[in-house]
Structure 1
Amino acid sequence: MTALIAPELAPAPAPTGMAPAQARDPDWFPGLHVAVPLGIQHVLAMFVSNMTPAIIVAGAGGFGFGSADPSQMIYMIQMAMLFAGLATLMQTIGFGPVGARLPLVQGTSFAYIPIMIPIVAGKGVEAMAALTTAALFGGLLHAFLSMFVGRIRFALPPLITGLVVLMIGLSLMRIGIQYAAGGVPAVGTPAFGAWQSWLLAGVVVVVTLALNFFGRGIWSTAAVLLGLMAGYAVALAMGRIDFAPVASAGLVMVPMPFHFGFAISVSAILGFCLTGFVSSIETIGDVDAICEGNAGRPATDKELSGAVAADGVGTALAAVFGAMPNTTFSQNVGLIAITGVMSRHVVTVGALFLVLCGLLPKVGAVITTIPIEVVGGGVIVMFGMVASAATSMLSGVEWTQRNMLIFGVSLSLALGLQLEPLALQHVPETARVLLGSGVLPAAVTAVVLNLLVPGRT
């Protein structure tokens, strides 16, 4: 799940010097003078969203910010960039049936975070073996689903997809507040919630909102990243930045197969497989949006299946090397509507830039010097946007009594189980992980009720 889901935008006029037909053609190359700046702009739009899941998972496992050895988090951040770039190349260039050959940007998915956190929570880096193994199986199933996903779209109307996206946002909002107040390790200490922490988080939120509301072009597109930079500058002035990890980081990082090992966890595999199904529906929505909104035509079955296949193969490949699951990023779909250039080669340039960043560990080391409160400010904005995007999706639902009951019961059950985990203390561990995720019980309950209750349209 993407972090920031762009609102629906009317296609922008073709840039100066480009014919409208050229700008809407995915196969047209506008030249390096256009492709390089627009490609980097795509990276800036998704950069923070892409690295955030790795930071959250590392923090939940106890080897993130403030830990004695952040090297594993640095590795995860590097792999997030590297495999986001490689998965994007699968989408833009295509390999056989894999890839939509459209300007789709891939990045680390938020949809899996509610599943990943219980797997690693308090268990250290050793738990990453079960997580990445589950992501490998989930990615392979995701790729397999690409052959059938178009046939089951009837069972997933906006009522269900909107509910799932809403649960993703609601499930993660607590993390944003914890980070902004000083991070999980500070919970229960006098330092938690100190004014200095809220100052840093507040700077990020205020600058991000100001740039979104009043900025133009790159200033608005990269608002979250620029907001983080503003918070970082304030933290630097307060003496909160330690550059020791940057000095000790190497020059090149080579990805290692099964970096975290290989371990089978039935509950983790089930969780990743079920969440992969939800993620594939999101990808279909992005492909539909980019084709209808920017190319002026519906997406073909080949484009839909290729995009979902790239999601799955990209996730499986990333998992082998210790990275998080991938999905298409909706904010980049919106960016194409803003720029008016639909060339997939522009996104290819951005993907190559991501691959380069992923091989340079000093980039990840710089990210680890960001105070947790600064990250918290960005996370508050991103997860809030996920929830608000869900309300936009739900606005098209016909709110009959039937639909209200399906939505209400699914939301109440899923959110209630997540807020009161002790209610599941007597169920087996596998069921406890799945039922406590929030996202999966909401999706399953809503799908089953929608299929069984009379009146479905």
Structure 2
Amino acid sequence: MQDHSGADLIYGLEDRPAPAPAFFAALQHILASFVGVITPPLVIGAVLGLGEHLPYLISMALMVSGVGTFIQARRPFGIGAGMICLQGTSFAFLGAVLSAGLLVKSRGGSPEDILAMIFGVCFLGAFVQIFLSRFIAQLRKVITPLVTGIVITLIGVSLIKVGITDIGGGFKADDFGAPLNLALGGLVLMIIILLNRSRQPWIRLSAIIIGLAVGSLAAFFSGKLAPQPLPDLPLMSIPQPFKYGFAFDWTAFIPVALVYVISTIETVGDLTANSMISRRPIEGPEYVQRLRGGILGDGVACLIASVFNAFPNTTFAQNNGVIQMTGVASRYVGLYIGIILFCLGLFPLLGAVLQQIPKPVLGGATLIMFGSVAAAGIRILAQVKLDRRNMLVIAASFGVGLGINAQPELLHQMPQLVQNLFDSAITCGGITAIVLDLLLPRDDSRDSLPESLGQTHKA
């Protein structure tokens, strides 16, 4: 194990945990992200009437997430960040993907036609992100530490809403806010907090999975968790390239292409937070190389997703929270995550079992992890010179972003394209931060993080 003097890590980035702790850490990442990976296909399937194709789409989402995560950790041919960057189905693309599907549906297209169009425009759109990955040095002039800190904080704050909704029982749940739901979520939350204060590495490493296990047991004995009969699914799901065909339309493509640009900005924020939590530099050549490889990895994962009938992928922010909670930053854990996710997709019944964990139990775990993401953003902002100019950028960006988050119907009288692009806190707040950071005159020639912060990890 490397020397992590001064660093609160059990396993550093290049450490190789034994199989048992590596598997255990990987399982916690999967439990934190599983619902996030399968939820976008569920939402898209429900809105576009793709019910008969949903089991296959969910299996492909899990398999592609596994392949993308493996690539990010293994970093073959410079593709990937070489960190635990769990790839999962991106929520950012929901609006643009649904818009493309509804376009085909309005023309009388079948579910197969809808999927052919979605995967066709997403396939070509992935090249936008691949292209942007080659110009990270130029992008860094636009995506400054100030912008990055704002975007990471907005990502965390936006995700907190998902966690607290799950604690209540889930979106539109009949018993939303029931005392039992709140008690289960609170129980899991407190267990994770208390276990993370332990001096024993194994207890910290196990905090999330113990919290979920105890919460599930409590849910079972309280009647909240009633095991359901497993659905009648095939034993294995076999990947088939472009199973539904390939179609293209500029009207559907342009919003998707723009979301790929926005997704790249989000990924820069997530990779920066990951580097910081993993005690790697967040300035200099190594950092730029990780950004370049990580964004390229995102683009390649999206390319693979479109070929194998899954929706666009992105680097999940919540897994940075898992790294922080467990103290395990080893990229070799990412290889385990990739293999397990692939197997979950290959054998759909395994995924069906995990789906039965009650939402309040998952919410108790995800809430603190999402909060950790927001805290990572605040930590970056704390390293930026907080003069009057930068405080103005932060205030305006949070005001616009969190305002949209609090009142999502604000843009509903705008054209559909505007709604698709700007109906999230991350998009509006991030663009506001970029525009103001570029336009407002600086007191200094450049906002930058102190050199010492970029050298916090010494192998």
Q: Which residue of 2 aligns with 1:402?
A: 389
Runs of at least 5 residues in structure 1 that lack an aligned partner in the other structure: 1-7, 16-22
What residue identity is the alignment partner of 2:23?
A: I
Residues 428-443 of structure 1 correspond to what in structure 2 (within 5 A)?
A: 428-443=415-430
Q: Which residue of 1 aligns with 2:314?
A: 326
Give the deviation of 1:429 after TM superposition: 0.5
Aligned to 1:366, which of 347, 353, 371?
353
Question: Helix, strand or coil for the counterpart of 1:326?
Answer: strand
CA distance in 1, matches of 2:10, 2:196: 23
What residue identity is the alignment partner of 1:107?
A: Q
Question: Are the equivalent residues in 1 in contact too, given 2:321–2:373 (CA < 8 A)?
Answer: no
Question: Are the equivalent residues in 2 in contact too, given 1:173–1:380 (CA < 8 A)?
Answer: yes
Deviations 1:210-253 (A, max 9, x none): 22223733432342333222221112213333444436344322
Give the deviation of 1:160 after TM superposition: 0.9
Question: Are the equivalent residues in 1 in contact too, given 2:28–2:322 (CA < 8 A)?
Answer: yes
Q: Which residue of 1 aligns with 2:91?
A: 113
Give the deviation of 1:156 after TM superposition: 1.9
Give the deviation of 1:420 after TM superposition: 2.5
Deviations 1:238-285 (A, max 9, x none): 333344443634432223445687675356404521222213423652
Deviations 1:296-334 (A, max 9, x none): x95176554333211210122124422451327535765
Question: Helix, strand or coil for the counterpart of 1:255?
Answer: coil
CA distance in 1, matches of 2:306, 2:200: 37
Question: Are the equivalent residues in 1 in contact too, given 2:38–2:61 (CA < 8 A)?
Answer: no
Question: Helix, strand or coil for the counterpart of 1:239?
Answer: coil
Aligned to 2:29, which of 15, 39, 46?
46
Distance 1:369 1:13, change over 3 A: closer
Aligned to 1:145, which of 124, 132, 135?
132
CA distance in 2, matches of 1:402, 1:302: 30
TM-score normalised over the length of structure 2: 0.77
Larger mean Cα displacement after TM superposition, 383-392 or 90-99: 90-99
CA distance in 2, matches of 1:117, 1:197: 30
Q: Which residue of 2 aligns with 1:224?
A: 208
Deviations 1:107-127 (A, max 9, x none): 327xx4355268659x99968
Aligned to 2:301, which of 302, 311, 314?
314
Residues 2-151 of structure 1 correspond to what in structure 2 (within 5 A)?
A: 10-11=6-7, 34-57=17-40, 60=43, 63=46, 75=56, 78-100=59-81, 102-108=82-88, 112-116=90-94, 135-151=122-138
CA distance in 2, matches of 1:229, 1:182: 18
What residue identity is the alignment partner of 2:91?
A: I
CA distance in 1, matches of 2:229, 2:287: 47
Question: Are the equivalent residues in 1 in contact too, given 2:30–2:337 (CA < 8 A)?
Answer: no
Question: Are the equivalent residues in 1 in contact too, given 2:149–2:269 (CA < 8 A)?
Answer: no
Larger mean Cα displacement after TM superposition, 381-390 or 215-224: 215-224
Question: Are the equivalent residues in 2 in contact too, given 1:267–1:429 (CA < 8 A)?
Answer: no
Aligned to 1:193, which of 177, 187, 196?
177
CA distance in 2, matches of 1:198, 1:287: 30
TM-score normalised over the length of structure 1: 0.77
Question: Are the equivalent residues in 2 in contact too, given 1:46–1:332 (CA < 8 A)?
Answer: yes
Distance 1:99 1:210, change over 3 A: same
Give the deviation of 1:104 after TM superposition: 3.7
Residues 345-424 of structure 1 correspond to what in structure 2 (within 5 A)?
A: 347-424=334-411
Q: Which residue of 2 aligns with 1:4?
A: none
Distance 1:245 1:394, change over 3 A: farther
Distance 1:230 1:165, change over 3 A: same
Larger mean Cα displacement after TM superposition, 440-449 or 42-51: 42-51
CA distance in 1, matches of 2:238, 2:226: 25
1:206 and 2:190 are equivalent in the alignment? yes
Deviations 1:74-106 (A, max 9, x none): 656544442233123323444434235x34443
Question: Are the equivalent residues in 2 in contact too, given 1:63–1:70 (CA < 8 A)?
Answer: yes
Give the deviation of 1:370 after TM superposition: 1.8
Question: Helix, strand or coil for the counterpart of 2:383?
Answer: coil
Question: Are the equivalent residues in 1 in contact too, given 2:146–2:384 (CA < 8 A)?
Answer: yes
Give the deviation of 1:378 after TM superposition: 2.6
Q: Which residue of 2 aligns with 1:19?
A: none
Larger mean Cα displacement after TM superposition, 232-241 or 112-121: 112-121
CA distance in 2, matches of 1:218, 1:323: 36
Give the deviation of 1:291 after TM superposition: 8.5
Larger mean Cα displacement after TM superposition, 142-151 or 123-132: 123-132
Q: Identity, % of aligned pairs?
A: 25
Distance 1:59 1:378, change over 3 A: farther
Distance 1:38 1:227, change over 3 A: closer
Give the deviation of 1:208 after TM superposition: 1.9
Larger mean Cα displacement after TM superposition, 415-424 or 435-444: 415-424
Aligned to 1:277, which of 258, 264, 281?
264
CA distance in 2, matches of 1:44, 1:414: 33
What residue identity is the alignment partner of 1:208?
A: I
Distance 1:233 1:70, change over 3 A: farther
Larger mean Cα displacement after TM superposition, 241-250 or 207-216: 241-250
Larger mean Cα displacement after TM superposition, 309-318 or 242-251: 242-251
Distance 1:195 1:258, change over 3 A: farther
Distance 1:198 1:104, change over 3 A: closer
Question: Helix, strand or coil for the counterpart of 1:412?
Answer: helix
Aligned to 1:234, which of 218, 243, 249?
218
Give the deviation of 1:170 after TM superposition: 2.3
Q: Which residue of 2 aligns with 1:3?
A: none
Larger mean Cα displacement after TM superposition, 266-275 or 358-367: 266-275
Pairwise CA RMSD of aligned residues? 4.0
CA distance in 2, matches of 1:78, 1:284: 26
CA distance in 2, matches of 1:215, 1:129: 53
CA distance in 2, matches of 1:249, 1:438: 38
CA distance in 2, matches of 1:58, 1:225: 25
Larger mean Cα displacement after TM superposition, 49-58 or 396-405: 49-58
What residue identity is the alignment partner of 1:293?
A: R
